[in-house]
Amino acid sequence: MPSLELTNAVMEFDDAGAGSPVLLLHGFPATRYLWSQVIPLLVGRGMRAIAPDLVGYGSSAPRPGMRIDMASQAGWMWELLDALELQRIFLVAHDVGSAVAQLMVAASPARARGLVILDGVYETEWAMDAIESIRQWDTAEAHRLFPVLLRRLGKSQHLREMLAAYAGDAGGRRLIEAARDLEPGQTAAIGQSLRASRIPSLVLWGRDDRYLDVDAVARPLAQLLSAPLAILAGGHFTPSDCPKELSDAVCDFIVAHAGE
């Protein structure tokens, strides 16, 4: 498990395989473990899969006092890619991790070979209502948050392991801080830049996503990106719910655009 010193942060990440590099970005309240069933499938198709914990999530930590909003995450991701000497990459992002990816594309479109968004965000549609209780959670009761998350999100073994970093008092406090630093306004005005980038894009969505609606979020996002929209047989956490179907779609997209 590589670890990298960044500006005001330490990032831990997985890096497997060779070939076309793919940066896998998780969202809230996930960790890089979200991709654990996807990475072997990508590697098996000849991809290099790089999956970091966002700073302040999982095992990646900010310096004291640093905000961990998605704009800051985008800067840290470019630092990671520079350290790995990767000039152009495919971005595959889930949930608010897609805010990071969109901000990266808006800032440096020439470095993105393609963009795949899974159950992601669009403008200010970040499903903030779903996490408001976490934003308001009493930090003195942070140790109670992990079992509540499990009840809300399901008790599959994969999701339990994905959320394990947030068990206990320290883990609960970390997640509360992450929730409070989410700022939907950061992607409110980047639509024109994304449209102008003309980056090859694909939008994948869980048929049963109960947080981010297909019609309210997925369809306008796909229209903005001039991207096809494919509906997968899963809920919000598609990398966990249907890793094979998702990986096939991602790999087919990358193969189609690898020469561009």
Q: What is the DSSP string of 146-207?
A: HHHHHHHH---HHHHHHHGGG-HHHHHHHHHHHHHT--GGGGTT-HHHHHHHT--EEEEEET
Residue 243 within any structural domain of the chain: yes
Residue 21 within any structural domain of the chain: yes
Would the pLDDT of 259 be above 80?
no
Tens of pLDDT, residue by residue over 185-211, are 999 999 999 999 999 999 999 999 999
- Cα angle 138, 140, 142; round to 5: 75
Residue 146 within any structural domain of the chain: no
Tens of pLDDT, residue by residue over 40-50, are 999 999 999 99
pLDDT computed for residue 145 by the predictor = 96
- Residue range(s) defining the domain that contains residue 53: 3-126+184-257
Would the pLDDT of 1 be above 90?
no
Provide the b/e sequence for 14-53 (b: ≥16 CB within 10 Å). beebeebbbbbbbbbbbbbbbbbbbbebbbebebbbbbbb
Average pLDDT for 82-91:
96
**Alpha carbons 53 and 176: distance in angstroms, whole number:** 16
Residue 193 within any structural domain of the chain: yes
Residue 27 within any structural domain of the chain: yes
Number of Cβ within a 10 Å radius of residue 145: 27
pLDDT computed for residue 260 by the predictor = 66
Q: Which residue has the higher pLDDT, 54 or 153?
A: 54
pLDDT band at 258 (very low <50, low <70, confident <90, very high): confident
pLDDT band at 152 (very low <50, low <70, confident <90, very high): confident
> 58 is written with which tokens?
């999982």
Whats the size of the chain, residue-wise?
A: 260
Average pLDDT for 65-69:
96
Residue 226 within any structural domain of the chain: yes
Tens of pLDDT, residue by residue over 223-252, are 999 999 999 999 999 999 999 999 999 999
Residue 42 within any structural domain of the chain: yes
Which CATH number is 190's domain given?
3.40.50.1820
> 64 is written with which tokens?
């004291």
Report the predicted TM-score, pTM, of the whole model to 2 decimal places: 0.97
Residue 210 within any structural domain of the chain: yes
Report the percent of the chain where pLDDT is more than 70.
98
Q: What is the mean pLDDT of the chain?
A: 95
Domain count, the chain: 1
Would the pLDDT of 110 be above 90?
yes
**Alpha carbons 27 and 20: distance in angstroms, whole number:** 23
pLDDT computed for residue 124 by the predictor = 97
